[in-house]
Amino acid sequence: MPSAINAAVAQQTAAGSVPSATVSTTEGTGGGTGGIYSAIISRNQPIIKVKEKTYEELHKKCLEQNILYEDPDFPPNESSLFYSQKIPIKFEWKRPREICENPRFIIGGANRTDICQGELGDCWFLAAIACLTLNKKLLCRVIPHDQSFIQNYAGIFHFQFWRYGDWVDVVIDDCLPTYNNQLVFTKSSQRNEFWSALLEKAYAKLHGSYEALKGGNTTEAMEDFTGGVTEFYEIKDAPKDIYKIMKHAIDRGSLMASSIDDNLGFSYGSAPRNSIGEQIARMVKQLENAQMSYPTVDYQATDERPAWTIVPMQYETRMSCGLVKGHAYSVTAVEETIFKGEKIRLVRLRNPWGQVEWNGPWSDKSEEWNFIDEDEKIRLQHKVVEDGEFWISFQDFMRHFTKLEICNLTPDTLEADKLKTWTVSVNEGRWVRGCSAGGCRNYPDTFWTNPQYRLKLLEEDDDPEDEEVICSFLVALMQKNRRKERKLGANLYTIGFAIYEMHGTKHHLQKDFFLYNASKARSKTYINMREISERFRLPPSEYVVIPSTYDPHQEGEFILRVFSEKSSLSE
């Protein structure tokens, strides 16, 4: 529903605290697949550090000198692979031209079925890639398509990611880790296609190593592909209109993924039962078996099954119905069809492995398809092929899956199809021990020292059916650089935020204020995720948003984003 908000966001700092600057306050248009991108995609151009040469400069230099690019910042050695332990196996870094004949960057368009997971534990990342391929405008933003192994080839490629408020251009060479002439990590279903492997390498460089990608939430990569804002649903507690929410998300070009808890609380793609060394050792054995099965290195992939298939991630639990616990799936379609005279809701998902599918009702070979005419099968893109993608009834989806993640390009993605103008205010901040790392409200002696951001809600929602005088807005808190700092022992902090009414004061709120005033709103929980977000409806007034870690004295950087509909001013 449409709403009207005028929000002003600014940070108040106590004496000795560390101020943070408002990075950007930018306006864009939401609504409709042609206009939803402007608030997120177009608001920032790629950021290039002044001291670094651009992709264009490096590419031109390599062509002029007739050399292949070698990346000094992400070299082809163990430092780019793993940080927790040394692996007693020697990988060979090879360029695609050394792996196969006639390598190609993209063959016939980048598709969700191109992606096959390796032995890294980054199914969360690959599920996001599959979603990305469904949105061609986003895809071309992240993966510039004017790259080739033929025309002006110089061994250099680049990809673009949203990084804490800005778009960054990540330049890499095309050396990839191999064993027995096979890619170790992500690969395409077609042996001579390399866009997905190179995208994974660029993302690994962004975070410092391939190992840094092990385990995560799909929302992280979705946000890095879009700059969007993520909403997270526990399916057992999902709203009654969750199907409508999913349908709106797909129609608006949002990225969406789902997963099944493994009952042990591990994040997607993590390997609690296996060290990196054990995973790689198992993978090498599989590769050697594959080498014996397929002795010809020129073996080509077919439409039915990818070449050199390795079933990865054995620590994830495969159920008798074909689904895998502790594993992330891309949601690639949400549709309705007529079955025996009745309307039935369907969800299409994809396993990043590129194989292992649901085998229940509406699976590829199930009898339900015998009652669907050919035109409808074509509309639903039904295929009987082991490619990791399958249909499942919405009822079975709700029964088996436990989590749903939706990355919206603007906050109105899931609402009515109306054009809206959104303002995104991005504020940087830091928690500093002994200064501004006060922990949550459970620590009254230090909570007041946390950074404080002023929020002015000046106009009520424009909803004639709602008699309440209410303003709607969305707050998203993201902690920075924790994945990249894993090699230094960093983990995600448990984070959250609270919102208090300020009662006219213009100064940093002190300890006594919080002893006598309750919060007007807050995040549902404190949780160790990179970003948490929440929608709120509050009366027009002046508020303060206080982001914090759960425990005090934890140092780190963050960004706080506030999404509102009308012009947002920073003080």
Q: What residues are labeled active site?
A: 123, 327, 351
User: Beta-carbon neighbour count of residue 492 at 10 Å?
Assistant: 18
Is-contact 180 171, C-beta < 8 A? Answer: no
Q: What b/e sequence results for 510-529 when a residue is b if at least 16 CB atoms lie within 10 Å of its CB, and e otherwise?
A: eeebbeeeeeebbbeebeeb
Is-contact 408 31, C-beta < 8 A? Answer: no
Is-contact 521 394, C-beta < 8 A? Answer: no
Is-contact 319 402, C-beta < 8 A? Answer: no
495-501 and 541-549: which strand pairing?
antiparallel
Return the closest-CA partner of residue 366 out of 396, 343, 341, 336: 396
Is-contact 230 533, C-beta < 8 A? Answer: yes
Is-contact 356 314, C-beta < 8 A? Answer: no
Instruction: Name the phi and psi angles at 371, rounded to 5.
Output: -100, 10
Is-contact 246 194, C-beta < 8 A? Answer: no
CA distances from 466 to 1, 534, 540, 542 (A): 10, 21, 15, 22
Is-contact 129 181, C-beta < 8 A? Answer: no
